[in-house]
A and B are shown apart, each in its own frame.
Chain A
Amino acid sequence: MVNRSLRNAMRGADLPTRREFVSMAARGLLGVAAMPFLPRALAQSNAGREITAGVVPTAHRAIYVYLSGGLSHLDTFDPKPGNDAMGPMQTIGTNVDGIRVGQFLPRLARQMDKVCVVRSMWSNQGAHEQGRYFMHTSYALRGTIRHPSLGAWLGSIRGSANPTLPSHVTIGGDAFTAQVGFLGSQFAPLPIGDPEAGLQNAARADGIDEATFRRRIERLQQMNERFLAAHGSRLGQAYDEAYAQAVELMGSRDLLAFDLGQESAALRDAYGRERVGQACLLARRLVEHDVRFVEVVVGGWDTHNENFEALEERLPPLDQALAALLADLDARGLLEETLVVVATEFGRTPQINDQRNGRDHHPKAFSCLLAGGGIRGGHVHGSTDARGEEITAGRVTVADFNATIATALGLPVDEVYHSPSGRPFQVANKGQPVREVFA
């Protein structure tokens, strides 16, 4: 039972249609995707059978914090107290007995009862771009096709939750993070560069007052009507729709979702004024407005050189942002149905390279986090050996990890979908969910 509308969407995406061109134009001009607003979602989601294949969602939305560059697992979530692999890094206890973390995560340590640490992540991609792409799509990067990342799958299978906002937003991503792949541009992530700037070009230009704007739109509609009457075409109507949707968003209350100025100074301070903190706060605002999948990309973890000094600088803002995010979501009652993921492309070596005092790439054992959205908090899944070098139990492949996220979000991992060219793909490339991490 393959989702018919998804298949249609895929078939339509084989060649960029005029409608998609319009959608992309709207994205470029207005920063919004036109397609998710089409009124298909209600009937589709209400039919109930189309989106599920025996999957009960435990989360309705996700915040996916991606640590680009490869986070050192030893110095953060899989520390080995007393082992020389730790170098000078100390460890601290958390609010869960038996879970220790690196010393620069004191605030997150107090939220560990909400977090499941997966200490047995395994990847076979040891280069950044390949690893990043693999982590996001579950498929190896190759020349012949682009695969969708989870946010795009989620939008295409479960539809947009908020009819005036895109279903998928990425804050600070790059070409190897969130992907729309072959799913068609309407499921592409809406890119936000600077969280404090929010959504750009969504307001009227300076010097154009409301009346002038309305008059121009009306004039445009008159011209379009004449054209459509003479040349009646579906594609012309698509342009009309794109304009109408964009104008709707411009006037929408939900545009405020992108505005961090709506938050109190105290809360903005609590997240930390660094970029990662403000990006996490924006992510919380967006999921609160029913954007389904928000990715926050944070770089700077490729610590080949001066690993310990770099982490001393980079971990505290991350620690603060993640701790604030979990506490804030929880206090609003949103953590129950919001999945929070912290992911990275690989870990870093137990060996500390001598000349540069850094750690190198280590894909065969690393750590990621899951929290909220039906996940069992205060739990550790899997383990590594005494130096954090090899996995000793509970190995979780990248595909399994993504299948776990997909399952929490109600996406069927066993269903086969076909790309426009007819090739079969699965949401998490045959990965199977790790059942133990669910509450």
Chain B
Amino acid sequence: MTSPLRNAALATLAAATTLAAQDAPKPTADFVRDVLPILESRCFECHRAPYEDERGRRRNPKGGLRLDTRELLLLGGDGGPVVVAGRPGDSALYTRTVLPADDPDIMPEKGDPLTPAQADVLKRWIAAGAPFGDWTGATTEPAPPVPATSGRATLYARLAADLAPPAAATLRTALGAHGRAEPLVDAGSLLRVSYPAHQESVDTAALRALGPLAAHVAELDLRRTPLTDLAGLPRLPRLVRLDLGSTRVDDAALRALRELPELRSLSLCGTPVTDRGLATLAELPALEHLYLWQSAATAAGVATLRARRPALHIVLAPELPADAPPQRQPERPRRR
């Protein structure tokens, strides 16, 4: 029920409150005794540290505003500061509580407006310079320990530190007509290089051409290329993933991989690599994942490599489902 008459009445009431306050100056509001209870009961539900509500939903502070710590209360929200010490008329923490009840900006958004007495406490506290006493409030650390980045992002961030992206001209010459580079980090300084649809064009010269990009190549996809060796592969100090699947790269060629200090993942799926080549791989300091399906490596060779590198994840053959028709489970559900 809103009407001009009601608004006028409210305005009069607000004016009366103001006048009353001027007539008989009240003592300064104490933050912990007078202000905090109002904030706790009427503001914190929306303006406090992120939390999970009873339904498991993460609730972030509305408008980016938190009132539960001194530091963040003074910092304000998305719209800027909400408290200007000494000037309640410029402080949204007060002014938005005394708007007409039907104003879309009134705070609190839910429930009844603050009582005139409550609004007056806020006003007097701000007018007195917004003293907090020794209150500092909740810790300003964000509550739930949510990892900001994945392990992979952390790794790439480290590798990309202080690395400027390559120049466009360098990219053009290094990639030739068929190479494709995609950025792996924000600035484009680490790249994933592949030759989609033109794998057959990749030869020693194409690998050698990558030289000027050597600092930037973190992932290199050479799957299904006709390569038989890695002559021409420049030293790639930041190469993390290398896919040589379905190439003819052999044991001797793997020696070139010793120049790859950051190599973590290597696919030799469908290559003629044998157990002899695995000995070279044991020397790769950072290697974590090795794929050997359909290669010439054997279980015995893999066992030897595992003994030397127990933490290495090696896939020699996938555990594929049986090719027999699906088996029925012994415990069949019965109709109720």
Decide whether A and B are members of one complex: yes
| Given A87-B333, A312-B332, CB of A436 within 8 Å of CB of B183 | no
Interface flag for B204 (CB, 8 Å): no
The one of B58, B188, B266 that contacts A48, using a Cβ cutoff of 8 Å: B188
B319-336 contact mask (Cβ, 8 Å, vs A): 1 or 0: 111110011010111111
Identify which of residues 354-386 in chain A touch chain B, using a CB-to-CB cut-off of 8 Å.
357, 374, 382
Name the distance in Å between A53's Cβ and chain B's nearest Cβ: 8
Interface flag for A203 (CB, 8 Å): no
Instruction: Contact check, A332 vs B180: say whether CB atoms are below 8 A apart.
Output: no
Inter-chain contacts of B156 with A (CB < 8 A): 56
Inter-chain contacts of B269 with A (CB < 8 A): 331-333
Name the distance in Å between A324's Cβ and chain B's nearest Cβ: 5
| Given A308-B333, A336-B241, CB of A52 within 8 Å of CB of B186 | yes
Inter-chain contacts of B171 with A (CB < 8 A): 46
Inter-chain contacts of B248 with A (CB < 8 A): none
Inter-chain contacts of B133 with A (CB < 8 A): none
Complex Cα gap A76–B327 (Å): 17
Instruction: Contact check, B333 vs A49: say whether CB atoms are below 8 A apart.
Output: no
Interface flag for A231 (CB, 8 Å): no
Inter-chain contacts of B267 with A (CB < 8 A): 332-334
Complex Cα gap A311–B278 (Å): 45
B167-202 contact mask (Cβ, 8 Å, vs A): 1 or 0: 010010001000011111111110010101100100
Which segment, of B12-20, B33-41, B145-153, faces chain A? B145-153
Inter-chain contacts of A328 with B (CB < 8 A): 318, 320
| Given A336-B241, A438-B150, CB of A331 within 8 Å of CB of B289 | no
Inter-chain contacts of B184 with A (CB < 8 A): 56-57
Inter-chain contacts of B52 with A (CB < 8 A): 393-394
Judged by DSSP, the binding face of B is loop
Inter-chain contacts of A272 with B (CB < 8 A): 321, 326
Identify which of residues 297-341 in chain A touch chain B, using a CB-to-CB cut-off of 8 Å.
306, 308-309, 312, 316-317, 319-320, 323-324, 327-328, 330-334, 336-337
Name the distance in Å between B139's Cβ and chain A's nearest Cβ: 21
Interface flag for B110 (CB, 8 Å): no
Complex Cα gap A48–B335 (Å): 58
Instruction: Contact check, A324 vs B181: say whether CB atoms are below 8 A apart.
Output: no
Instruction: Contact check, A110 vs B319: say whether CB atoms are below 8 A apart.
Output: yes
Instruction: Contact check, A163 vs B319: say whether CB atoms are below 8 A apart.
Output: no
Instruction: Contact check, A270 vs B321: say whether CB atoms are below 8 A apart.
Output: yes
Complex Cα gap A129–B318 (Å): 37
Interface flag for B88 (CB, 8 Å): no
Interface flag for A179 (CB, 8 Å): no
Interface flag for A267 (CB, 8 Å): yes
Which residue of chain A has the shortest Cβ distance to B292 in the bound complex? A331
Instruction: Contact check, B146 vs A436: say whether CB atoms are below 8 A apart.
Output: yes
Complex Cα gap A58–B326 (Å): 34
Which residue of chain B has the shortest Cβ distance to A383 in the bound complex? B56
Instruction: Contact check, B326 vs A317: say whether CB atoms are below 8 A apart.
Output: yes
Name the distance in Å between A148's Cβ and chain B's nearest Cβ: 21
Question: How big is the A interface, by class?
Answer: 35 or more
Question: Which residue of A41, A48, A330 has the most chain B CB atoms within 10 A of its CB atom?
Answer: A48
Interface flag for A435 (CB, 8 Å): yes
Inter-chain contacts of A55 with B (CB < 8 A): 186
Interface flag for B317 (CB, 8 Å): yes
Interface flag for A60 (CB, 8 Å): yes
Inter-chain contacts of B187 with A (CB < 8 A): 48-49
The one of B152, B196, B326 that contacts A319, using a Cβ cutoff of 8 Å: B326
Interface flag for A106 (CB, 8 Å): yes
The one of A90, A254, A309, A324 that contacts B331, using a Cβ cutoff of 8 Å: A90
Instruction: Contact check, A290 vs B147: say whether CB atoms are below 8 A apart.
Output: no
Interface flag for A352 (CB, 8 Å): yes
Complex Cα gap A266–B55 (Å): 47
Instruction: Contact check, A331 vs B291: say whether CB atoms are below 8 A apart.
Output: yes
Complex Cα gap A42–B223 (Å): 19
Complex Cα gap A31–B245 (Å): 29
Instruction: Contact check, B329 vs A45: say whether CB atoms are below 8 A apart.
Output: no
Complex Cα gap A316–B328 (Å): 9
Inter-chain contacts of A337 with B (CB < 8 A): 219, 241
Instruction: Contact check, A352 vs B188: say whether CB atoms are below 8 A apart.
Output: no
Complex Cα gap A327–B322 (Å): 12
Inter-chain contacts of B315 with A (CB < 8 A): 330-331, 333
Complex Cα gap A58–B319 (Å): 25
Instruction: Contact check, A333 vs B318: say whether CB atoms are below 8 A apart.
Output: no
Name the distance in Å between A62's Cβ and chain B's nearest Cβ: 15
Instruction: Contact check, B181 vs A45: say whether CB atoms are below 8 A apart.
Output: yes
Name the distance in Å between A316's Cβ and chain B's nearest Cβ: 4
Interface flag for B265 (CB, 8 Å): yes
Instruction: Contact check, A56 vs B186: say whether CB atoms are below 8 A apart.
Output: yes
Interface flag for A392 (CB, 8 Å): yes
Interface flag for A124 (CB, 8 Å): no
Which residue of chain A has the shortest Cβ distance to B243 in the bound complex? A333
- 16 CB contacts below 8 A, A to B, read A56-B153, A56-B156, A104-B329, A161-B180, A270-B323, A309-B335, A320-B321, A327-B318, A328-B318, A333-B245, A333-B315, A352-B336, A374-B152, A394-B52, A395-B55, A435-B146
Q: Top 5 A-B pairs ranked by shortest CB distance?
A: A48-B188, A333-B267, A88-B333, A269-B323, A331-B318
Other A-B pairs beyond A252-B197, A306-B335, 16, CB < 8 Å: A45-B181, A47-B188, A48-B183, A103-B329, A103-B331, A110-B319, A162-B196, A163-B197, A327-B318, A328-B320, A332-B269, A333-B243, A333-B291, A394-B52, A395-B57, A438-B147
Interface residues of B (CB under 8 A from A): 52, 55-58, 146-153, 156-157, 165, 168, 171, 175, 180-189, 192, 194, 196-197, 200, 219, 223, 241, 243, 245, 265-267, 269, 289, 291, 293, 315, 317-323, 326-327, 329, 331-336
